[in-house]
Amino acid sequence: MLNELERKLSVLILVYTTLVAVSSMSLYLLSEKRIDTYVSLNILAYYVSYAVIRPSYTTKSARYLNIVLFAIFAIIVSFRVYEVLTS
């Protein structure tokens, strides 16, 4: 059981790290300066890697982390939508 959990965690970290590296490099090459774009893509990378790996065991701290990350992502997206609608 523990070996399976460790393997899934290792794959989750590998997928997340790869997604973050690719997205950060892409944003850097596009000369993106806004920090909220980097934060948003990091949160998306976390959710994509979490959805792909789908760990069978979650703790309360992981659930709280998901709630906080979703709230931050929703705030960033709603702020960007507001900027687009008011400009």
- Does position 39 have pLDDT exceeding 70, yes or no? yes
Confidence of residue 87 (pLDDT cuts 50, 70, 90): confident
Whether 51 contacts 19, CB under 8 Å:
no
Whether 79 contacts 40, CB under 8 Å:
no
**Residues 27, 23: Cα–Cα separation, whole Å:** 6
Choice between 8 and 34, residue whose per-residue pLDDT is larger: 34
Confidence of residue 2 (pLDDT cuts 50, 70, 90): low
At 63-84, the pLDDT tens digits run 899 999 999 999 999 999 999 9
Contacts of residue 46, Cβ cutoff 8 Å, sequence gap at least 6: 16, 69
Q: What is the mean pLDDT of residues 38-42?
A: 95
- Can you give the residue range of the structural domain that contains 17? 2-86
pTM: 0.82
Query: Domains in the chain: how many in total?
Result: 1
